[in-house]
């Protein structure tokens, strides 16, 4: 028996007229699509509403709804006729997401026969043999006549393609149709593979008391389907997905929010139950395996506040310690209000805020980033950008005296501390000092006034002159 080189190996699919299903199956493709709407939630969840015009046969029929999401949750699928309400009823549905590939096709033919066609490398003469596929796991095992061969000795010709093996994700529904005319029908379903997040860019002005802010929505599509010219909506909020019953269609009562001061390019915001809904004012295509960005908002001249913060600990208040730290890091924060009076005033979806500032040559430089949770209107946004380079602190315990009590957790003591704040900048700074104090406490003396921020927190505001130091005792 002559064997031919592997360079002659190829695959040939011989498909019959009913390649994907029975003769009675009708297929709907993207050519039938009239409109598609996509609502994307925060936690890898989306609601798809696919409107198509299909001329269905009257009576019992099978409809193969092609080009749906490969990550569809089929238990949430709902098909309804928009043009002829009540004319359709679904008796059975199958979600076929096992997609056609040469490997998958060969696996489906294990135990069945195929035709092996060989081409002579010099004469071009073709010969064919019938082979039985014994295995197709980590290679191919064929029985040809009385011999066993591994690998593919030629090109394989298949009689047909199995009905449950499709080139695109397909929802096959058994229907009863009472209408005689073409219908507009909408398939609604929940799916994974679609996600979004918010990203913000902030630029501080030279004096660090105002900022410009722009927001972007980043969309990621790994659902296995594309959505052409889709009506896009985004839901910001924590939606519970544990419920067994999920409503995927029907009207929803929505309360319109007041127009924000921030300029919203292409996005309209409104409240939806306990969440916020953002609607893109134009259609957009969400292609398969694509990440895209859409403008969310822009605001200019937002008043900002800068804060230097030294955060203490409570462990050194109940025992004797000496030196508590040299050149301690002092956090640098930026804070602003999400209010209309501050040029903002719209619900901000959770995301990452990246902050820039121009250098002396006018080039924007990255100075830090922080994540923010969903922020309602009129709330404060606080960002930690990093630690100060030129502002440091030295801290030590100067005295510790046990006054009364013998138990580990029940005694009275007095403790003294010294904090030296150092400022290498050419301008004065104000440092906020927060000290968490356990138990029932009282400050007996201090060279700077304090406020009791909470039951276990004392706060000082200490100004440090330029290129100098200040002491808190």
At 55-96, the pLDDT tens digits run 998 999 999 898 999 999 999 999 999 999 999 999 998 887
What are the tens digits of pLDDT across the range 138-184?
A: 788 888 888 888 887 788 888 777 766 677 788 989 999 998 899 99
Q: Using H for helix, E for strand and C for coil, what is the string for 132-188?
A: EEEECCCCCEEEECCEEEECCCCEEEECCCCCCCECCCEEEEEEEECCCCCEEEEEE
Residue whose C-alpha is closest to residue 413's, from 434, 396, 397: 397
**Residue/partner pairs of 108-113 with CB below 8 Å, 24 or more apart:** 108/162, 108/165, 109/133, 109/136, 109/158, 110/134, 110/135, 110/136
CB-based contact 74:171 (threshold 8 Å): yes
For the chain, the domains span 1-40+47-192, 194-298, 305-472
Cα–Cα distance, 241 to 441 (Å, whole number): 46
CB-based contact 78:249 (threshold 8 Å): yes
The pLDDT assigned to 152 comes to 79
What are the tens digits of pLDDT across the range 300-352?
A: 999 999 999 999 998 888 788 889 999 999 999 999 999 999 999 989 999 99
- In sequence order, the 6+-apart residues with CB closer than 8 A to the CB of 2 are none
Give, in order, the Cα–Cα distances in Å from 434 to each of 314, 412, 453, 455, 463. 11, 22, 9, 13, 14
pLDDT score of 265 more than 60: no
pLDDT score of 381 more than 90: yes
pLDDT score of 126 more than 90: no
Three-state DSSP class for residue 31: helix
Band the pLDDT of 97: cuts 50, 70, 90. Answer: low
What are the tens digits of pLDDT across the range 413-461?
A: 889 999 999 999 999 999 999 999 888 889 999 999 999 999 999 999 9
Cα–Cα distance, 432 to 448 (Å, whole number): 12
Cα–Cα distance, 204 to 212 (Å, whole number): 7
Band the pLDDT of 208: cuts 50, 70, 90. Answer: very high
pLDDT score of 389 more than 90: yes
- In sequence order, the 6+-apart residues with CB closer than 8 A to the CB of 31 are none
Cα–Cα distance, 211 to 353 (Å, whole number): 12
Q: Using H for helix, E for strand and C for coil, what is the string for 359-383?
A: CCCCCEEEEEEEEECCECCCCEEEE
Measure CA of the first residue to CA of the last residue in the chain; give whole Å.
99
Band the pLDDT of 4: cuts 50, 70, 90. Answer: very low
CB-based contact 270:276 (threshold 8 Å): yes
Query: pTM of the predicted model, to two decimals?
Result: 0.71
CB-based contact 37:48 (threshold 8 Å): yes
Within a 10 A sphere around the Cβ of 139, how many other Cβ atoms?
Answer: 9
The pLDDT assigned to 398 comes to 93
For β-strands 290-303 and 284-286, DSSP reports them as: unpaired
Residue whose C-alpha is closest to residue 288's, from 227, 358, 242: 227
């Amino acid at each position: 028996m002559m064997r031919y080189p592997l360079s002659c190996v190829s695959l040939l699919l011989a498909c019959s007229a009913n390649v994907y299903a029975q003769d009675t199956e009708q297929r709907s493709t993207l050519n039938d699509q009239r409109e598609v709407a996509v609502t994307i939630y925060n936690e890898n969840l989306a609601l798809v509403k696919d409107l198509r015009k299909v001329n269905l046969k009257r009576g019992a029929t099978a409809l193969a709804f092609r080009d749906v999401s490969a990550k569809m949750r089929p238990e949430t699928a709902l098909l309804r006729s928009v043009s002829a309400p009540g004319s359709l009823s679904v008796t059975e549905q199958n979600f076929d997401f096992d997609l056609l590939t040469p490997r998958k096709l060969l696996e489906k033919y294990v135990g069945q026969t195929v035709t092996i066609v060989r081409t002579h490398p010099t004469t071009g003469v073709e010969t064919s043999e019938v082979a039985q596929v014994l295995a197709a796991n980590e290679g191919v095992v064929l029985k040809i006549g009385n011999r066993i061969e591994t690998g593919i000795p030629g090109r394989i010709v298949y009689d047909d393609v199995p009905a449950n093996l499709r080139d695109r994700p397909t929802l096959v529904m058994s229907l009863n149709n009472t209408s005689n005319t073409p219908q507009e029908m909408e398939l609604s379903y929940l799916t994974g593979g679609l996600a979004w997040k918010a990203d913000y860019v902030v630029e501080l002005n030279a004096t660090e008391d105002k900022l410009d802010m722009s927001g972007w929505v980043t969309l990621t599509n790994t659902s296995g389907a594309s959505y052409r010219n889709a009506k896009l909506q985004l839901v910001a909020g924590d939606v519970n997905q544990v419920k067994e019953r999920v409503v995927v269609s029907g009207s929803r009562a929505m309360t319109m929010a007041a127009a924000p001061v921030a300029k919203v390019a292409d996005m309209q915001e409104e409240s939806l139950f306990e969440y916020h809904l953002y609607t893109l004012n134009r259609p957009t295509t969400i292609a398969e395996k694509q990440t895209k960005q859409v403008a969310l908002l822009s605001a200019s001249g937002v008043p900002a506040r800068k804060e230097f913060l030294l955060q203490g600990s409570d462990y050194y208040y109940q025992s004797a310690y000496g030196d508590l730290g040299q050149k301690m890091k002092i956090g640098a924060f930026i804070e602003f209000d999400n209010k209309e009076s501050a040029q903002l005033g719209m619900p901000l979806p959770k995301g990452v805020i990246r902050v820039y500032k121009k250098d002396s040559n006018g080039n924007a430089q990255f100075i830090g980033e922080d994540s923010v949770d969903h922020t309602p209107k009129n709330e404060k946004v606080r960002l930690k950008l990093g630690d100060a380079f030129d502002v440091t602190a030295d801290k030590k315990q100067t005295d510790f005296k046990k006054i009364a009590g013998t138990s580990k957790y029940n005694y009275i003591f007095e403790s003294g501390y010294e904090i030296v704040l150092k400022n290498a900048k050419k301008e004065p700074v104000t440092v906020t000092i927060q000290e968490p104090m356990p138990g029932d406490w009282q400050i007996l003396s201090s060279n700077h006034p304090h406020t009791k921020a909470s039951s276990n927190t004392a706060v000082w505001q200490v100004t440090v002159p330029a290129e100098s130091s200040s002491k808190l005792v």
